[in-house]
Amino acid sequence: MDQILLYLSANMEMIYFLLLAILLGVEVISNVPAILHTPLMSGANAIHGVVVVGAIIVMLHASPDNYAALSIGFLAVVMGMLNVVGGFVVTDRMLEMFKKKPKKS
């Protein structure tokens, strides 16, 4: 228990930064008009490819016996890929709305 408190107190600046980022993100997203949600989210999800590359790099630098780092890295790769694929699916569906429909004879 003492080690956890020591770790938290040593990383308090990072915890404050994370909380500030969460609050700022919620505030920014809540003020986006509904009409812009689909294009912004599809673009943001596609950018998550950077997360996948970062997770792969972290996994490459982790020691082979560090199962916690490898498990979290694998989870980050899987979740990031789901987000990337979801972003492209949403973008494809959005672009389908703008295609002309064939005329019936």
Interatomic CA distance for residues 80 and 86, integer angstroms = 10
Burial class (CB in 10 A: 0-12, 13-18, 19+), 56: middle
Residue type, position 50, single letter: V
Model confidence at 105, in pLDDT bands (50, 70, 90)?
low
Interhelix angle 67-96/37-47, nearest 10 degrees:
140
Examine the domain organization and report whether 70 and 47 are in the same domain.
Answer: yes
Q: Identify whether 52 is part of a domain.
A: yes
Examine the domain organization and report whether 66 and 88 are in the same domain.
Answer: yes
Examine the domain organization and report whether 54 and 6 are in the same domain.
Answer: no
Examine the domain organization and report whether 4 and 44 are in the same domain.
Answer: no
Rounded mean pLDDT, 64-76: 88
What's the domain count of the chain? Answer: 2
Question: Which range is least confidently modeled, 24-33, 43-52, 67-76, 83-92?
Answer: 43-52
- In this prediction the pTM is 0.57
* Residues 41-64 pLDDT 10s: 766 776 778 888 888 998 899 889
Question: Which range of residues forms the domain containing residue 58?
Answer: 34-96
Examine the domain organization and report whether 27 and 42 are in the same domain.
Answer: no
